Chains A and B, each alone.
Chain A
Amino acid sequence: MSGGRGVALIDLSINGEATSVAAPSHWTLLELLRYKLGLTGTHQGCDKGDCGTCTVRVEGRAVLSCLTLAQSAQGRAVSTVEGLGSGARPHPLQAAFDRCGAAQCGFCTPGMLMSAAAWLDKIASAADPDLSDEAIAHVIGGNLCRCTGYTKIVQAIGEAAREVRAGGVATAVGAAATATAPTAASEGAVSLRPTSARVGGRHGKIDAMAPMVGEARYTDDLVLPRMLHGKILRSPHAHARIVSIDTAAAAALPGVHGVITGADLPKTYGIIPWTQDESALCVDKVRYIGDAVAAVAAESEDIALQALRLIRVAYEPLPALTTPAESMANPDVRIHERNKDGNVSKRVELAFGDVDAALAGAALLVEGDYRFHGSTHGALEPHCALGHVDAGGILTVWSATQVPHYLHRALARVLGLSPRQIRVIQPPVGGAFGGKSEPFDLEFCAAKLAMLTGRPVKFLYTREEVFFAHRGRHPFDMQYRTGFSADGQILGVDARSVLDGGAYSSFGLVTTYYSGQLLGAPYILPSYRFDSVRMYTNKPACGPKRGHGSVQPRFAFEVQLDKAAATLGIDPIALRRRNALPPGGRTVNEFHIGSSGFLQCLDEVERASEWRSRKGKLPRGRGLGVAGSTYISGTNYCIYPTELPQSGVQICLDRSGRVRVFAGTSDIGQGSSTMLATITADELGVALEDVRVLAADSDLCPVDLGAYSSRITLMAGNACLQAARDLGAKVREAAAVQLECAPRDVVLADRLATRIDDPARSMPIAEAFIAAEVRFGTLGSTGSYQSPREAVHGDYRGGTIGASPAYSFTAHVAEVEVDEETGEVRVIAIWCAHDCGKALSPVLVEGQIEGSVYMGFGEAVMEEHEAMPSGLRADGGRRLPGPGMAGLLQASSLLDYRMPTAPDTPRIEAIIVEAPDARGPHGAKEAGEGPLHSAIPAIANAIYDAVGVRIDDLPLTPQKVLAALRARRPA
Chain B
Amino acid sequence: MLRLPPLQLLQPTSLDEALGLLALHGASARLIAGGTDLLPNLKLGPARPEVLISLQRVAGFEGVRVSADGGFDIGAGTRLQDLAEDAEVRARAPALAAAASVVASPQIRAMATLGGNLCVDTRCRYINQSELFRDALGGCLKSHGSECHVVPGGQGCVAALSSDTAPALIALQGVAVIVGPAGERRVAIVELYDTDGLAHVRLQPGEILWRVEVPMLAPGSAAVHRKWAIRKAIDFSLVSVAVRLDREPAGTRALVGGVVAVAVLGPRPRVLDLRTYAGRSVDEALARELGQLAFDRCKTLPNVPFDPVYRRERLAVEVRRAVMSLA
- Residues of chain A whose beta carbon lies under 8 Å from any beta carbon of chain B: 1-6, 8, 25-28, 30-31, 44, 47-50, 52, 55, 61-64, 66-69, 71-72, 74, 115, 118, 138-144, 234, 236-238, 289-290, 301-302, 305, 460, 462, 464, 821-823, 862, 875-882, 884-885, 887-892, 895-896, 898, 900-904, 957-959, 962
A115 to B233, CA, bound (A): 14
CB neighbours (8 Å) of B30 from chain A are: none
Are B232 and A901 in contact (CB-based, < 8 A)? yes
Shortest A335–chain B CB gap in Å is: 18
Are A885 and B137 in contact (CB-based, < 8 A)? yes
Contact with A along B140-165 (1 / 0, CB 8 A): 00000001010010000000000000
A603 to B97, CA, bound (A): 47
**Chain A-chain B contacts (Cβ-Cβ < 8 Å), number:** 201
* Among all A-B residue pairs, the 8 with the closest Cβ atoms: A142-B105, A141-B233, A959-B310, A236-B136, A903-B232, A48-B40, A26-B4, A901-B233
- Residue B249 CB within 8 A of the other chain: no
Are A464 and B132 in contact (CB-based, < 8 A)? yes
A464 to B130, CA, bound (A): 8
CB neighbours (8 Å) of B34 from chain A are: 67
CB neighbours (8 Å) of B59 from chain A are: none
Residue of A nearest to B145 (CB): A884
- Residue B43 CB within 8 A of the other chain: yes
Residue of A nearest to B50 (CB): A5
Given contacts A115-B106, A142-B106, contact A236 B135 (CB under 8 A): yes
Given A27-B4, A55-B107, A884-B136, 18 more pairs with CB closer than 8 A: A4-B8, A26-B3, A26-B5, A67-B36, A67-B40, A72-B9, A139-B106, A141-B233, A142-B233, A236-B132, A238-B136, A301-B1, A462-B2, A464-B133, A876-B308, A888-B136, A895-B234, A962-B313
Are A881 and B2 in contact (CB-based, < 8 A)? no
- Residue B273 CB within 8 A of the other chain: no
Are A141 and B35 in contact (CB-based, < 8 A)? no
Tell me which of B1, B135, B149, B232 contacts A880 (CB under 8 A). B149
CB neighbours (8 Å) of B106 from chain A are: 62, 115, 138-142
Give the interface SS of chain B, mostly helix, strand, loop or mixed: loop
Q: Which among A143, A236, A302, A862 has the highest number of chain B CB atoms within 10 Å?
A: A236
CB neighbours (8 Å) of A896 from chain B are: 125, 305
CB neighbours (8 Å) of A962 from chain B are: 310, 313
- Residue B66 CB within 8 A of the other chain: no
Tell me which of A3, A52, A64 contacts B8 (CB under 8 A). A3
- Residue B327 CB within 8 A of the other chain: no
A822 to B105, CA, bound (A): 24
Shortest A107–chain B CB gap in Å is: 15
Residue of B nearest to A46 (CB): B2
Q: Which among B8, B35, B132, B305 has the highest number of chain A CB atoms within 10 Å?
A: B132
CB neighbours (8 Å) of B314 from chain A are: 822, 958
Residue of B nearest to A3 (CB): B9
- Please list 22 pairs of residues, one from A and one from B, whose beta carbons are closer than 8 Å in the complex, sorted by A's number: A2-B11, A25-B9, A28-B39, A47-B2, A48-B44, A61-B110, A64-B111, A69-B35, A72-B56, A74-B11, A142-B104, A142-B233, A144-B234, A236-B132, A290-B132, A823-B310, A878-B302, A881-B152, A884-B137, A885-B137, A895-B234, A959-B310
A358 to B11, CA, bound (A): 78
CB neighbours (8 Å) of B39 from chain A are: 28, 48-49, 66-67, 69
A52 to B308, CA, bound (A): 28
Residue of A nearest to B12 (CB): A2
Q: Which among B3, B4, B6 has the highest number of chain A CB atoms within 10 Å?
A: B3
CB neighbours (8 Å) of A143 from chain B are: 105, 107
Residue of A nearest to B308 (CB): A876
Residue of A nearest to B228 (CB): A822
A889 to B39, CA, bound (A): 23
CB neighbours (8 Å) of A901 from chain B are: 105, 231-234
A464 to B135, CA, bound (A): 14
Tell me which of B1, B50, B138, B234 contacts A50 (CB under 8 A). B234
A327 to B300, CA, bound (A): 33
Tell me which of A5, A142, A885 contacts B234 (CB under 8 A). A142
Shortest B38–chain A CB gap in Å is: 9
A890 to B32, CA, bound (A): 29
Tell me which of A64, A878, A904 contacts B36 (CB under 8 A). A64
Are A1 and B305 in contact (CB-based, < 8 A)? no
Are A862 and B135 in contact (CB-based, < 8 A)? no
Are A72 and B35 in contact (CB-based, < 8 A)? yes
Shortest B208–chain A CB gap in Å is: 17
- Residue B218 CB within 8 A of the other chain: no
- Residue B217 CB within 8 A of the other chain: no
Shortest B123–chain A CB gap in Å is: 10
A66 to B105, CA, bound (A): 14
Tell me which of A6, A25, A48, A61 contacts B43 (CB under 8 A). A48
Given contacts A64-B36, A72-B56, A236-B135, contact A876 B307 (CB under 8 A): yes
Contact with A along B84-109 (1 / 0, CB 8 A): 00000000000000000000111110
Shortest B152–chain A CB gap in Å is: 5
Are B136 and A882 in contact (CB-based, < 8 A)? no
A61 to B230, CA, bound (A): 27
CB neighbours (8 Å) of A238 from chain B are: 136
Are A142 and B108 in contact (CB-based, < 8 A)? yes
Tell me which of A30, A880, A885, A904 contacts B231 (CB under 8 A). A904
Shortest A717–chain B CB gap in Å is: 38
A424 to B52, CA, bound (A): 44
A47 to B106, CA, bound (A): 17
A237 to B32, CA, bound (A): 35
A301 to B4, CA, bound (A): 11
Are A821 and B232 in contact (CB-based, < 8 A)? no
Residue of B nearest to A57 (CB): B110
A547 to B149, CA, bound (A): 37
Are A902 and B233 in contact (CB-based, < 8 A)? yes
A238 to B135, CA, bound (A): 12
CB neighbours (8 Å) of A877 from chain B are: 309
A284 to B166, CA, bound (A): 51
Residue of B nearest to A65 (CB): B107
CB neighbours (8 Å) of B110 from chain A are: 61-63, 118
Shortest B40–chain A CB gap in Å is: 4
